Chains A and B, each alone.
Chain A
């Protein structure tokens, strides 16, 4: 459930900035420059303390509002902070989980997923309150009451095993992408192959979008048993390569002797070669 237009910029069409300028622009009277600067600092991974502090301050911005009450600058600042990997952003991001703007909550959950700090688990679990019954579409909006996918994925990435009983029911949620997120997190939290196999099954879905999600999830959890299924899935090779790279990296992490490639790693690379 990515906000429309969230990745509308690319490095090529971006006006040239320096880190100092971008940080200064976060306080510019022109709010479009602030919005752009926040995106730019994340995109170019400007990890200086000044950049992180300025972005943390931007999480409380009141000036930039949409007609529906959204906070565009907060969204971009939250997204950027995940990419910068600084733990001091965690308290501010946790606070964003209570923001009235769905997309700020979603961006914060995604960034907390990247920062992987157990401190965020209780606040994330709070958003799952009410369980599957509360997880319904907001009338007139293209999203559910909470950013369930992002929250569940974050809890899985963080390793919040205490969340298992509240995540499990989401395997039966009516939205397939939420089911995928739940299967992915359940696998990460329990290592039970049953959940990996649920994602493998999703590769047979009739929707391309969903097959891409499942391929991505299998890569993210490094589920080795899915290697052939990923290589044979009907999605674009770029998606398969990224997923197989995830499998490969998780195999390499398990290697005891770093001078010898294990057979699983070689198998994955042979599959990747065939997709070039």
Chain B
């Protein structure tokens, strides 16, 4: 057995929550693409510290983990799904756009939707060719604008975080600026309005940096 196979074996054989965490941490530290399916499976074990270790490991593996993360999203376990979406959001590969959009706008679990909203603003757009990039950015914008009107304050909050990141794209700044103004005037939650104010100060920094 290779070293990675042994580490995978240790995860499958772990017989206590603490041993599971240690085994996942060791496997994640190996930074071997062969570990990807096992790390994704850990999201479904209902062991939050182990899931966080797997999330870190997958994020460090980056792009290599994206196809399997996209293919292995757990439609029946929203806890596991939230970790997958977090991993995709952190890796920020634009191939995740469709999955993040669907999660942000149609998932029933707020934890999944918030993670997706944050991720939508942060994708590495430069990995896409120009015409494709514009379409993708526009779709992310429309998705975030839509959920910025959700009835759940925490979803609107996450939408503001996503929009703040998306405001780095010059073409989208006008729409985002006017949506922020609108939210500042109409949102019933003080916490959401405060987050809009913080986003506006960031947007100003970003604009002056661009100039």
Which stretch of A33-41, A47-55, A88-96, A264-272 is in the interface? Answer: A264-272
- Given A234-B48, A238-B154, A276-B194 contact (CB < 8 Å): no
Residues of A within 8 A of B95 (CB): none
Alpha-carbon distance between A245 and B194 when the two chains are bound, in angstroms:
10
B: interface residue count bin: 20 to 34
B190 partner, pick from A237, A238, A249, A276, beta carbons under 8 A: A249
**Contacting pair B158 A276 (CB below 8 A):** yes
Residue of B nearest to A234 (CB): B48
Q: Does B81 contact A (CB under 8 A)?
A: no
* Residue interface bits B72-116, CB-to-A below 8 A is 1, else 0: 000000000000000000000000000000000000001100110
**Contacting pair A273 B118 (CB below 8 A):** yes
B102 → chain A, closest Cβ, in Å?
A: 17
Q: Does A248 contact B (CB under 8 A)?
A: yes
Q: Does B195 contact A (CB under 8 A)?
A: yes
B115 partner, pick from A234, A265, A276, beta carbons under 8 A: A276
Alpha-carbon distance between A219 and B115 when the two chains are bound, in angstroms:
22
Among A236, A261, A272, A276, residue most surrounded by chain B Cβ atoms (within 10 Å)? A276
Number of interface residues of A (CB under 8 A): 17
A249 partner, pick from B48, B115, B117, B191, beta carbons under 8 A: B191
Determine chain B's interface SS by DSSP, over half rule: helix
A247 → chain B, closest Cβ, in Å?
A: 10
A residues near B (Cβ < 8 Å) are 234, 236-238, 241-242, 245, 248-249, 252, 261, 265-266, 269, 272-273, 276
**Contacting pair A241 B154 (CB below 8 A):** yes
Q: Does B197 contact A (CB under 8 A)?
A: yes
B residues near A (Cβ < 8 Å) are 48-49, 110-111, 114-115, 117-118, 153-154, 157-158, 161, 190-191, 194-195, 197-198, 201
**Contacting pair B158 A248 (CB below 8 A):** no
A269 → chain B, closest Cβ, in Å?
A: 6
**Contacting pair A248 B110 (CB below 8 A):** no
- Given A238-B110, A276-B117, A265-B157 contact (CB < 8 Å): no
**Contacting pair A276 B198 (CB below 8 A):** no
Residue of B nearest to A11 (CB): B151
A242 → chain B, closest Cβ, in Å?
A: 8
**Contacting pair A237 B111 (CB below 8 A):** yes
Alpha-carbon distance between A234 and B154 when the two chains are bound, in angstroms:
19
